[in-house]
Amino acid sequence: EVQLVESGGGLVQPGGSLRLSCAASGFTFSSYWMGWVRQAPGKGLEWVANIRQDGGEKYYVDSVKGRFTISRENAKNSLYLQMNSLRAEDTAVYYCARSEDYGPHFDYWGQGTLVTVSS
């Protein structure tokens, strides 16, 4: 059974940093693109970033470029999102998702982890 479990969310002050993790199981992690999608409270879905199987290709939404870094460790079946210079508008539930390609073909999702940026 495919499982994606996010962790690392919490309360952080504006300008602070946080690292999200996603533990994958039930499939060959190194064979899939992976991504992060977020959802602000009461709002719609917003794609954040995608990463290729070998980590050699990455894409980001403009609003996080230069602040967020997506990475993966295939040996540990883990996906990460390093978030720096956090802003109030980054407050959201962050979902980890598996993708068949670089596009929005997210066939499995985690349960999400809440990030709150507030003083």
Report the interface residues with another protein, using CB under 8 A. Answer: 35, 37, 44-47, 50, 59-62, 95, 100, 102-107, 109-112
Q: How far is CA 26 from CA 4, 35, 55, in A?
A: 9, 17, 20
- Number of Cβ atoms within 10 Å of the Cβ of 109: 15
Tokens of 86: 């956090």
User: Smallest gap, in angstroms, from Cβ of residue 56 to another protein?
Assistant: 16
CB of 101 to another protein, least distance (A): 9
Q: Counting Cβ atoms within 10 Å, is residue 70 exposed (0-12), middle (13-18) or buried (19+)? A: buried
Which is nearer to another protein, 14 or 107 (by Cβ)? Answer: 107
Nearer to another protein among residue 38 and residue 72 (C-beta): 38
Between 55 and 112, whose beta carbon lies closer to another protein?
Answer: 112
